[in-house]
C-alpha cells in the first residue's frame, strides 16, 4: 500500500470578542464545503492573514493510503 500526501485549501473566519486574549476569536479551520478539518489534518502553511495578523487562508495536509 502506498501513501500520498493530500493537500487542501482551508479558511478561517475571525470575529471580535471581549473574552479572548487578543480580542479576536475563531471557530477554527474549515474546508470550502463547510466541514471542519478534524484531527487527521494539519495546517502546514498560512497563505494570507488579515490586517491584524490573523491567518484566514491556509493549506492543510494529511497522509492517506492508496
pLDDT tens figures, 43-60: 999 999 998 899 999 999
**pTM for this predicted structure:** 0.82
**Range of 23's domain?**
3-65
The CA distance from 30 to 5, in Å, is 18
Sign of the Cα torsion 38, 40, 35, 22 reads positive
Using pLDDT thresholds of 50, 70 and 90, give the confidence band for residue 19: confident
Count of structural domains, the chain: 1
Q: What is residue 4's predicted lDDT score, i.e. its pLDDT?
A: 96
Contact 14, 22 (CB under 8 A): no
Contact 57, 11 (CB under 8 A): yes
Please state the rounded mean pLDDT for residues 10-16: 93
Instruction: Report CA dihedral (64, 5, 40, 35) to the nearest 10 degrees.
Output: -100
Amino acid at each position: 500500500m502506498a501513501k500520498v500526501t493530500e493537500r487542501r485549501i482551508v479558511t478561517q473566519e475571525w470575529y471580535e470578542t471581549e473574552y479572548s486574549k487578543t480580542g479576536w476569536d475563531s471557530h477554527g479551520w474549515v474546508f470550502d464545503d463547510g466541514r471542519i478539518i478534524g484531527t487527521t489534518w494539519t495546517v502546514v502553511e498560512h497563505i494570507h492573514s488579515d490586517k491584524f495578523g490573523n491567518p484566514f487562508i491556509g493549506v492543510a495536509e494529511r497522509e492517506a493510503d492508496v
